[in-house]
Amino acid sequence: MVASSVSSSSSNENLSPDKTARSLFEDSRGRPDSNEATQDTSVILYVPEIEEIRISPVVSRKGYLNILEQKTNGWKKRWVAVRRPYVFIFRDEKDPVERALVNLATAQVEYSEDQQAMVRVPFSFSVVTKHGGYLMQTAGAREVHEWLYAINPLLAGQIRSKTSRRQPPASPALGPSSTQCLPQ
């Protein structure tokens, strides 16, 4: 488009030193030149849409997790901090640069015993975004629920209620008052 504008302007008028690249650019965008007042003055404006997302100053949870690396297909120990609505992933606790960032507002957190059996990784859950996913492993079952609660409290509550429904009720402890002696 710039080339056609340059060729048409050079055929109509001679290029002079006062004809700068800026004025050629403005001519090609449809802005009136000082010599041409009859040119179309419609200008397309692009207005950016900006959405401000405030990161909570409160760290919901932080600590080390094992994360499956997609490139190497190996596990790496990473420092993870949850500050809603984001999960920040660092190399270690003292790393000043975030190595990965997950927006929890657009990510999906997945946890199930079937998934753990399928991938053969105990105490794991996944966080899936439109650009990729993270398989994360904790040290134990209790830690899984603590991380899930920090990342997605509603999901953690659902999982807690499902697991409590499946477990049989604990039998009451037999104390001295509940024992009966049989007659002999």
Q: Is 46 left (phi over 0), alpha (psi -120 to 50) or beta?
A: beta
Sheet with 75-83: list strands edge to edge. 100-103, 86-90, 75-83, 61-68, 133-137, 124-128, 108-110
- Distance, C-alpha 157 to centroid of its chain: 22
Residue 141 sits at φ, ψ, to 5 deg, of: -65, -40
168 pLDDT higher than 70: no
- Give the per-residue pLDDT at 99: 94
- Would the pTM count as exceeding 0.85? no
pLDDT of residue 27: 57
Mean pLDDT, the chain, as a whole number?
Answer: 77
- State pLDDT tens for residues 2-51: 444 444 444 445 555 555 555 655 655 555 555 555 556 788 888 888 88
What pLDDT is recorded for position 17?
53
Domain residue ranges of the chain, discontinuous segments joined by + = 61-161
Average pLDDT over residues 84-93: 95
Asked if residue 125 has pLDDT above 80, the reply is yes
The confidence band for 165, taking pLDDT boundaries of 50, 70 and 90, is confident
Write down the pLDDT at residue 182.
Answer: 41
pLDDT digits (tens, 9 = 90+) for 98-117: 999 999 999 999 988 888 88
Q: How crowded is the C-beta side of 47, counted as CA atoms within 13 Å?
A: 1
CB 90 within 8 A of CB 81: yes
User: What CATH number was assigned to the domain covering residues 61-161?
Assistant: 2.30.29.30
Per-residue pLDDT, 100: 94
What distance in Å separates the CA atoms of residue 120 and residue 62, rounded to the nearest whole number?
25
pLDDT band, very low/low/confident/very high, at 161 (cuts 50, 70, 90)? confident
Distance of CA 130 to the CA centre of its chain: 9
